[in-house]
Amino acid sequence: MAVLQIATRPFADQRPGTSGLRKKVKVFQQPHYLENFVQSIFNAIPDRAGKTLVLGGDGRFYNREAIQIILRMAAGNGWGKVVVGRGGLFSTPAVSTVIRARGAHGGIILSASHNAGGPDQDFGIKYNTANGGPAPEKLTDAIWTASRSIQGYQILDGADVDIDHAATFWLGDMQIEVCDPVADYAELMARIFDFDALKRLMQGPFRMRFDALHAITGPYAHEIFEKQLGAPAGTVVNGTPLTDFGGGHPDPNLVYAKPLADELFAENAPDFGAASDGDGDRNMILGRHFFVTPSDSLAVLAAHATAIPAYRHGLKGIARSMPTSQAADVVAEALGIAHYETPTGWKFFGNLLDAGKITFCGEESFGTGSDHIREKDGLWAVLAWLSVIAHTGQPVAEIVARH
């Protein structure tokens, strides 16, 4: 198969934001638009030859088409291997997990996070580096510079490949591994949390509901909560990823996840409720007749961190974004550990995490995470709350009130 050199001209609107490039689907469907930005990413990574790239997205409209284009462009740009999630799917936390587990050079995530999906809605693309975290400003600036002067892109002349079955094969001189998008992530969660304790919780009178909002976390939630932890079938609702998220808005808050909130505030409410967003990095936590604000969620989890096996020796420090309340600072001071304030944008936690300065971090926009990866992680936060409930034997409202 030949590598084609396609002539193009720059687009003036391809400057990445804190979470990559997000535009309407129709903008990305313009001739050369996606290809220009992908080539700009590759041009900003001169040492890519022979390296491994992780690729996947949240399943929104145009995800599958973009995957095929990027695979052929990766083959035309000298990447040695691409690990792609089966069906073109990967949650954002799972991409970070796989990058770190496989020693990949980086990853491309196709998502517009909590924005609506569909042919008239949003699409997005961002690059994560070898630590598993979002590209730092130096790299996004280099991508922006490359996009303003691009004159052509390289793409392999070939047909679409089968991404719906786990397999390893070659595309030109590049190896493609189509893998289970859930496996590496679920294995990591089992190492962090005490799954035996969580199984016992699920076997009691405890009832929970997880709303995947027809977004990417559905397959992860079915595997972890229902299959591995033994929660009853039906615990996970809206668990099939749809290209338009079922016509809903995949944003886990009291407005867009109102059916879940209504259920948790009903007379016969479950004990615990949670939701995640389009690409799986955000979370909303609810108790029976109780809503936990994201700022309080970070503080409570930090205060109870030693209930989780991976953090039983305590935290190194805590960081929060500037708009997030100082509740976590109070916890850090009580624990005698450092606390930090960062600008808005998850990438700004990366330096603190890589330097070993912090263990937990979070932001007021429903994002919580730890040093296990370099992205915020919705399901990690849910499992952390379940761990605190299992350890204390208390309901959510009492845990927060005691805190």
Residue carrying the six token digits 């949240």: 58
Annotated catalytic residue, options 91, 96, 113, 370: 113
Phi first, then psi: give them for residue 122, nearest 5 degrees: -105, 155
Is the separation of the CB atoms in 111 and 134 below 8 Å? no
Using CA atoms, how far apart are residues 367 and 123, in angstroms rounded to an integer? Answer: 20
Q: What is the DSSP string of 216-274?
A: THHHHHIIIIIIIS-PPTTSEES-S--TTGGGS----STTTTHHHHHHHTSTT--SEEE
Cβ burial 74-92 (10 Å sphere, 16+ → b, else e): bbbbebebbbbbbbbbbbb
Annotation marks residue 91 as catalytic:
no
Locate 111 and state its tokens.
């998502």
Using CA atoms, how far apart are residues 282 and 62, in angstroms rounded to an integer? Answer: 22
Residues in the chain: 403
* Active-site amino acid positions: 113
